[in-house]
Amino acid sequence: MSNLKQIKSALISVFDKTNLEPIIEKLNNLGIQIYSTGGTKQFIEKFGVNVFAVEDLTDYPSILGGRVKTLHPKVFGGILARRDNVSDKEQLGQYQIPEIDLVIVDLYPFEDTVASVAAEQDIIEKIDIGGISLIRATAKNFKDTLIVSSKNQYSDLLEILEANEGKTSIEERKSFALEAFNVSSHYDTAIFNYFNNEKQSQVFKQSVISGTELRYGENPHQKGVFFGKIADVFDQLHGKQISYNNLLDIEAAVQLIAEFNETTFAVLKHNNACGIASRGKLVDAWNDALAGDPVSAFGGILISNKEVDLKSAIEIDKIFYEVIIAPSYNYDALELLKKKKNRIILIQKMFEFPDKQYRSMLNGALVQDRDLKMEVVADLKTATNKTPSKEEIEDLLFANKLVKHSKSNTIVLAKNKQLCASGVGQTSRVDALKQAITKANNFRFNLKGAIMASDAFFPFADSVQIASEAGIASVIQPGGSVKDQESIDYCNKSGMTMVFTGTRHFKH
């Protein structure tokens, strides 16, 4: 450590006073002069510590309902003065401005106030002015001053104070300045996004205050970091650290399962469902989901929208998988599932996902609305002479949820609310269909009476012809091709039914 500087004075002004007491005690023991104002001053004085009021320093009271307290040259001059600058030192003496070596400050809880759906005036009052100014000023002058901008730094501050009896190094001050600018830039981004919520200026600003380093990225030679608070979405009950690829699959899984109200189990691999079924009992949903592709299920991600019971857990435990997600687990089921050391067991919390999606692209970013559209019976337009049966409509809607959450081009074949097979990520719709048929046949599914779903329209009638020859009875697709009539004519000729949704669900 180098360039050690003694802390002789400190300004403390915080909204949240949690864990502040040990700091106050240590500063007092070191004989450091403390300046403070308002509620913070009263809090410090409760411990019998002498505090110099900022109002006495500036000869101005707190005004405008507390909006102006520390914004004064006698405060900011003491923070920003360069200790090795002769002119700065002379001006401090001329205007009787004391040096301030340490600033402990936090910010009004703007994001929490917005999240509470407070009135606009309450939100505006939580835009911090004095605090943000103190943070920036102290961080700018890190050569001479130390800024503590979060209560999360209190333990680090205590270590520094104890280790060097109130002296700080340039490395420590610069590190704290880095965190201060992290705090201030995040705060300003949150304020901008609040104001931009209605106007929607074509500006991209996002900020996540902290990240979690992952074992690696998509591949071992790539570094990976998750920015966000995964604990807000899941409780991890067991298992190893969640990986980059786990997170991609988990995101796909929770978005898919959110479409289903009926008891449903899904198995995902590389962001696509390789098995899914809706049934009256969870164990039946699991067994039928697994039957969709028991080979791909190995090492997959499992997700249920109902509590996992022991009977289901016994069956689930027969295969190897990376992650299981459910809203809850009964005690015996959880004890069984936890017997595998590395198995990741998650409880999904009630959480509202963002309605925007972001992706880095070239030298910038792509932003779009999340695909929140999901068709219901009223959205279906029968295109053929024959109308689908009630059971077929249920399967059509079931399969349509799957194509929405599968990589394009995609075709889904389903029957009795069970995925028979899908063709995903293909460069042609015909190839996707052929892949799905081959896969269904390999796992001995009888496609007679099954339905076919497509994420986009059929440019020609070849797909419905291939499907008909495989036994497919009904089709759901967006429609919109200039050659829709060719597909309609073939369906009418072969006795198939087909409905249009009017909505494409590409996913890349």
- Which sequence positions are flagged as catalytic? 140, 270
Size of the chain in residues: 508
Q: Which helix (H) or strand (E) holds 211?
A: strand 211-213
Contacts of 3 (CB under 8 A, 6+ apart): 143, 169, 170
Contacts of 471 (CB under 8 A, 6+ apart): 446, 447, 448, 449, 450
Rounded-to-integer distance, Cα 196 and Cα 120, Å? 14
Would you state the structure tokens that stand for residue 60, as one six-digit string? 């101005």
What b-and-e string marks burial along 342-358, b requiring 16 or more CB atoms within 10 Å of the CB? ebbbbbbeeeeeeeeee
Reference 128, options 179, 188, 73, 176; nearest CA is 188
Place of tokens 């690696």: 216
CA dihedral 87, 90, 94, 99 (to 10 degrees): 100
Reference 26, options 139, 229, 164; nearest CA is 164
Q: How would DSSP label each residue in 94-155?
A: HTT-----EEEE----HHHHHHTT--HHHHHHTS-SHHHHHHHHHHHTTTT-EEE-SGGGHH
Q: How many angstroms from the chain centroid is the CA of residue 34?
A: 40
